[in-house]
Each structure stands twice: as structure tokens, then as C-alpha cells.
């Protein structure tokens, strides 16, 4: 039984399956900017490798000519400069259940809004390790197109070589999460952290890196994490016809809804901030875009999209990118937002949508982006809010 040595999980996680473990972060924990480690969502395709001793772990780097260079985690810590970045990981299946409910059945785990979490990750830059191993990161051989990651249990994925060697790409090999050693569920003792890309590329229990002219041949690269047209069924997709998901589209969700009576509104200070005196509804949530794109605006509608107002973006608490320069601060992490709306304005479902700094927007409904795998479900999130409870 390969699952025998899987770690114990926090009881507050919402479990979709136990073997392998697939558990989402509960809404009550999605309001904290940095997700507590034990509440960080877990998405495992297989078992957790039985590694308890970081010293016995090896990372092998295979160069394009087949030459291999080996590192222990201690070597990485000793030889390379250490970086910390705050980055959000989002599963490509986040909000899949919303697509299913609004449209048609999809295959895969039926995640709600919690297949997403944020941590501050610490490790070394992939670019520096590749350069040390012998790759010419300034001017790599033209045939080199991809960088493959292999996990100890057999999972694998790849990213474009440009992302891997981009000095502003911030791809790290991390050994620590929120200042603690990586927990076993999140890749102990070493994982790839590919900020701005779908979390499926951040390979856990990393033991091999391959510089290549080809993508990873794993099913998670060549099949599962792709989107097809709404008309394409699950029976005979032409898998090679669609590219693997890398950077992710703009996303947002509502994670908390609270009714606040007028007198309590005054006590809480919300009346002063929002200029409201009447019974109100407080909504909170997150917004996130891939590719390091910043969230520039979050719009909410109290009346199913007829009228709109802007939510207040909460402080950006992210640690800087690896370059360390504030001017070059890519948005690798989510923005949280809050809105306070008079109860009388509510009619029908509340909606939220976000806009990123390329002015990408979310589709209003799921039908146009329906895909049988239920990937990248990012239509407006709509919730029914009762006026008085």
C-alpha cells in the first residue's frame, strides 16, 4: 500500500478524496493573505513519497547533451543565493464544480473556490542552478525548448525554457514554505515553484530536471491539463491539437458573505470607511491572474450584473520577486478584496469579476469556455445572498 505512509491532514480541509489526498482550503481560511501551512490545499495524483530525511535526497540535472550533475539539498543551500517570494498556487481545476453546475458534467475532482492558496516560498533560483550545471543561460542552444521536472513518485511536467531561465521569471527550487521546512504533502524536501503558471507545473518531491527539445511526455503535460472547445466531447479529443496550460487566466471568487446590521456597522468602523448607515452585506474574496499580471480592479454587482461597483483591494502583502527591485515586482500572488453593499440594493445573485493589467476579463457565463475536463473555470462567480438573515 503506497499510501500507508501518507501524512496526517488537518481536519478543517475539505476532502474530495483520500487516496490520493485531494483536499481544498475551507472558505474560512481563504481570507488570510498567507494561507496557514496546514490549511494549504493539497492536490496529489499519487501517494506521498516516503522521504523523511532531506540528506538522502538527490536532485539530478540532465543537460541537453545528456551529461548529469547531482546536488543534495545542502549543496543547493550552500552554493546559491537564497530568495523568498510570495506566490499563489492555483490548480487548473479550481472552481470546476461551478462550471459543472452552470453548464454540463466535467471529468475530474469537483473543486469549489478553495483549490488555491498562497505562501511565501524560500529556495534557490532555477536559473542559477542550470548555469552552475553548465547550461549557457544567456544564449542556450536553439534546439532547447523545454525544461522538464520529474517528481519522486512518477509525476512529471515541463515549462518553456524561456520561463526557466528568465531572470525575472522567479522560478525557484524551494525547500521552505512560510519559514518552515516544506511539509511532506507540499513536496518535502524540494519542489519546483513556477509562479504565474498553473500549479500543475510546480512539481513536488523534485528529483530530476531535464533540459530538452521536447515537452514532458507525462499525461499531465500532454493530456489532462488542456482545454478544448465547448463542442469537443471526452471520447476522442485530439490531445495534440491543444497546448498545455501554462500561464493562467484572470480569476476571482467570493469567499465570505456577512450580513451586518446598521448599529454593528458603526461599531466595526465600516460605516466610516464606506459611508453607509443602513443594514449592509460585507463580501470578501480573492482575485488572481497568471503570468505575473497585476489585478487592477475587482467589480461586484449586487443585482446579477445590472449595476456594478468596485470592491476595495486589500493591501498587497507579497514579498518581492527574485530581482529584489520594487519596480520589477511581478504579481505572483493574489489580491484580496472587500465590498460593503446596502442590503436594499441586493436583488438576485451577487457577481464578482476581476480585470488584470492586460485588461483581460472573466467570461460572464461558463458555457463559452466549457471544456469537458473542466479546466480554467473562471466565469463570474455568482452567489445568492439572502437579504435578511
380 makes contact with ligand MTE (CB under 6 A): no
Q: Of 329, 333, 381, 389, which is closest to residue 354 (Cα–Cα)?
A: 381
User: Among 16, 43, 98, 125, which residue interacts with Mo ion (rule: CB under 5 A)?
Assistant: 43
Q: Which three cell numbers stand for residue 106?
A: 466535467
Q: Is 337 in the site for ligand MTE (CB under 6 A)?
A: no
> According to CB under 6 A, which residues from 56 to 75 bind ligand MTE?
none
Beta pairing partners, 174? 123, 191
Q: What is the footprint of ligand MTE within residues 21-40 (CB under 6 A)?
A: 40
Residues shown for the chain: 389
Stretch that binds ligand MTE, among 7-15, 202-210, 248-256, 291-299 (CB under 6 A): 202-210
Residue 304 and residue 259: Cα distance in Å, rounded? 18
Query: d(Cα 287, Cα 269) in Å, to the nearest integer?
Result: 24
CA angle 184, 324, 328 (to 5 degrees): 110
Residue 120 near ligand MTE by CB under 6 A: no
Distance from C-alpha of 353 to C-alpha of 332, rounded to nearest angstrom? 19
Give the H or E element holding residue 288: strand 280-288
How far is it, in rounded angstroms, from Cα 105 to Cα 87?
31
Nearer to ligand MTE, 43 or 146 (CB): 43
Locate 57 and state its grid cell: 535526497
Is 127 a binding residue for ligand MTE by CB under 6 A? The answer is: no
**Using the rule CB under 6 A, is 355 a contact of ligand MTE?**
no
Which residue is at the shortest CB distance from Mo ion? 91
- Tell whether residue 199 is a contact of ligand MTE (CB under 6 A): yes
Q: Any contact of residue 175 with ligand MTE (CB under 6 A)?
A: no
CB of 184 to Mo ion, least distance (A): 18
Residue 283 touches which member of Mo ion, ligand MTE, none, C-beta under 5-8 Å by kind: none
DSSP 343: G
Does residue 291 belong to the site contacting ligand MTE (CB under 6 A)? no
Tell me whether residue 111 or residue 366 sits nearer to Mo ion (CB atom). Answer: 111
User: Which span (75-83, 196-204, 242-250, 327-335) binds Mo ion, by CB under 5 A?
Assistant: 196-204
Asked if 205 interacts with ligand MTE (CB under 6 A), we say yes
Phi, psi of 256 (to 5 degrees): -150, 140
* Contact stretch for Mo ion (CB under 5 A) within 101-109, 127-135, 192-200, 273-281: 192-200
Q: Which is nearer to Mo ion, 89 or 165 (CB)?
A: 89
**For ligand MTE, which residue of 42, 73, 283, 376 counts as binding (CB under 6 A)?**
42
- Cβ contact 59:81 at 8 Å: no
- Tell me which stretch binds Mo ion (CB under 5 A): 184-192, 198-206, 226-234, 352-360: 198-206
Does residue 319 bind ligand MTE (CB under 6 A)?
no
Number of residues that bind Mo ion (CB under 5 A): 3
Q: Give dist(CA 344, CA 212) in Å, integer.
A: 59
| In contact, 283 and 300? CB cutoff 8 Å | yes
Please report whether residue 202 would count as binding ligand MTE according to CB under 6 A.
yes
The residue among 119, 122, 121 whose CA lies nearest residue 33 is 119
Alpha helices in the chain (DSSP H): 73-79, 96-102, 126-133, 161-165, 219-222, 262-268, 270-274
How far is residue 364's CA from residue 102's CA, in Å, rounded to a whole number? 11
Residue 91 interacting with Mo ion (CB under 5 A): yes
* Contacts of ligand MTE in 86-115 (CB under 6 A): 89, 91
Is residue 204 a contact point for ligand MTE (CB under 6 A)? Answer: yes
Q: Applying CB under 6 A, which of residues 80, 121, 155, 228 lies at the interface with ligand MTE?
A: 155
Query: Which residues of this chain interact with Mo ion, rule CB under 5 A?
Result: 43, 91, 200
Amino acid at each position: 500500500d503506497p499510501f500507508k505512509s501518507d501524512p496526517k491532514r488537518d481536519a478543517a480541509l475539505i476532502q474530495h478524496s483520500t487516496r490520493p489526498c485531494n483536499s481544498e482550503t475551507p472558505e474560512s481560511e481563504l481570507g488570510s493573505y498567507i494561507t496557514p501551512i496546514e490549511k494549504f490545499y493539497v492536490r496529489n495524483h499519487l501517494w506521498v513519497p516516503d522521504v523523511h530525511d532531506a540528506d538522502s535526497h538527490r536532485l539530478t540535472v540532465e543537460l541537453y547533451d545528456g551529461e548529469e550533475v547531482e546536488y543534495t539539498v545542502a549543496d543547493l543551500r550552500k552554493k546559491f543565493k537564497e530568495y523568498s517570494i510570495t506566490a499563489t498556487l492555483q490548480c487548473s481545476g479550481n472552481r470546476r464544480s461551478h462550471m459543472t453546475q452552470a453548464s454540463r458534467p466535467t471529468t475530474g475532482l469537483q473543486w469549489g473556490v478553495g483549490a488555491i492558496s498562497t505562501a511565501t516560498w524560500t529556495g534557490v533560483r532555477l536559473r542559477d542552478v542550470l548555469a552552475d550545471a553548465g547550461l549557457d543561460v544567456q544564449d542556450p542552444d536553439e534546439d532547447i525548448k523545454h525544461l522538464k521536472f520529474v517528481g519522486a513518485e512518477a509525476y512529471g511536467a515541463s515549462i518553456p525554457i524561456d520561463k526557466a531561465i528568465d531572470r525575472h521569471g522567479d522560478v525557484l527550487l524551494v525547500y521552505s514554505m512560510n519559514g518552515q521546512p516544506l511539509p511532506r504533502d507540499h513536496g518535502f524536501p524540494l519542489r519546483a515553484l513556477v509562479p504565474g503558471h498553473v500549479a500543475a507545473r510546480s512539481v513536488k518531491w523534485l528529483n530530476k530536471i531535464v533540459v530538452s527539445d521536447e515537452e514532458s511526455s507525462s499525461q499531465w503535460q500532454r493530456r489532462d491539463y488542456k482545454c478544448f472547445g465547448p463542442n469537443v466531447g471526452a471520447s476522442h479529443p485530439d490531445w495534440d491539437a491543444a497546448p498545455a496550460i501554462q500561464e493562467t487566466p484572470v480569476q476571482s471568487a467570493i469567499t465570505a458573505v456577512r450580513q451586518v446590521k446598521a448599529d454593528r456597522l458603526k461599531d466595526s468602523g465600516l460605516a466610516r470607511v464606506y459611508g453607509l448607515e443602513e443594514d449592509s452585506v460585507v463580501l470578501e474574496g480573492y482575485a488572481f491572474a497568471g503570468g505575473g499580471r497585476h489585478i487592477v480592479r475587482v467589480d461586484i454587482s449586487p443585482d446579477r450584473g445590472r449595476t456594478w461597483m468596485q470592491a476595495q483591494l486589500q493591501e498587497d502583502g507579497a514579498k518581492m520577486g527574485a530581482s529584489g527591485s520594487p519596480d520589477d515586482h511581478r504579481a505572483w500572488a493574489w489580491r484580496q478584496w472587500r465590498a460593503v453593499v446596502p442590503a436594499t440594493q441586493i436583488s438576485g445573485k451577487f457577481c464578482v469579476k476581476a480585470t488584470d493589467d492586460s485588461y483581460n476579463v472573466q467570461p460572464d457565463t461558463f458555457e463559452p469556455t466549457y471544456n469537458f475536463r473542466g479546466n480554467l473555470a473562471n466565469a463570474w462567480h455568482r452567489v445568492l445572498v439572502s437579504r435578511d438573515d
